[in-house]
Structure 1
């Protein structure tokens, strides 16, 4: 048996089916005439005809941008133990949501952050000629979400906030 026969038969059935038209005032759908004699559709013309189905298509909204951004760091100003021997606590992560098209969310510089993402076609990290001080004060960042319909998943550690700002613009400036 030919493995393409079921698919070809289904395609022929769908092509041979008459269209169904209906309007609210017509009541039940009316079906066009059917032919039971030989036609140019070949051997499938003897198969029962199926009505064509029209499926309404919802309008497609343009893909937007919603990204959850998290910054952890820099470390506390001092890492020296306190007089009681305790060390300073690790910095708490800060998280905001950035929305674009239109700019919004709880990001304090949403317009600038969206413009930076648009300028780099959704890339968060980019090259920079900015010279930063060689002080290691690490900052960890994470971005998860969607930019113009494309998934975004980004995580990186920068040496300090100068490097972070130079490489990501306003995206993590909160």
Structure 2
């Protein structure tokens, strides 16, 4: 049988708590113990091909576009992604999914764009690669994530 009364427990709690109005400095919030809540993604976009108005004089094909790569950090937003705040907000809104449904109507122009996302979203591994038919489709389906 428990011999402690509720009044005795309350008194013990009050004695253990710091007095109100004391000058003791507040305890800072603890730093994350591990990286379980961090987000760090390496994002790469390749394409679309450069627009040309006429074929090259030597009839060679246009050179393949060079990939563009940035790093995105969230919590807090950062890295070298130019729209880190918006990209992190889009990932948070979609629960970390890079690609999502969209009602946006895009022109049926085939100008492919390849994207890749590798890293961690809130401690969960991310490995995403996809080719979109054009930049409109990419933007509609991924928001600000690949907007760089």
TM-score w.r.t. length of structure 2 = 0.75
Distance in 2, Cα, partners of 1:66 & 1:161: 24
Select the residue among 54, 70, 77 that pairs with 1:103: 77
Distance in 2, Cα, partners of 1:69 & 1:107: 9
In the other structure, the counterpart of 2:62 is 88
Select the residue among 118, 123, 130 that pairs with 1:144: 118
1:42-61 aligned at under 5 Å gives the runs: 59-60=33-34
| Residues 1:113 and 2:95 aligned together | no
Q: Contact (CA 8 Å) 2:35, 2:123: kept in 1 or not?
A: no
CA RMSD of aligned residues (A): 1.7
Q: Contact (CA 8 Å) 1:139, 1:157: kept in 2 or not?
A: yes
Q: Which is greater in Rg?
A: 1
1:1-174 aligned at under 5 Å gives the runs: 59-60=33-34, 62-78=36-52, 81-174=55-148
Of structures 1 and 2, the one with the larger relative CO (CA 8 A, separation 6+) is: 2
Q: Contact (CA 8 Å) 2:113, 2:132: kept in 1 or not?
A: yes
Distance in 2, Cα, partners of 1:79 & 1:145: 38
Q: Contact (CA 8 Å) 1:69, 1:141: kept in 2 or not?
A: yes
Structure 1: any 5+ residue segments left out of the alignment?
1-57
TM-score w.r.t. length of structure 1 = 0.64
Distance in 1, Cα, partners of 2:42 & 2:61: 30
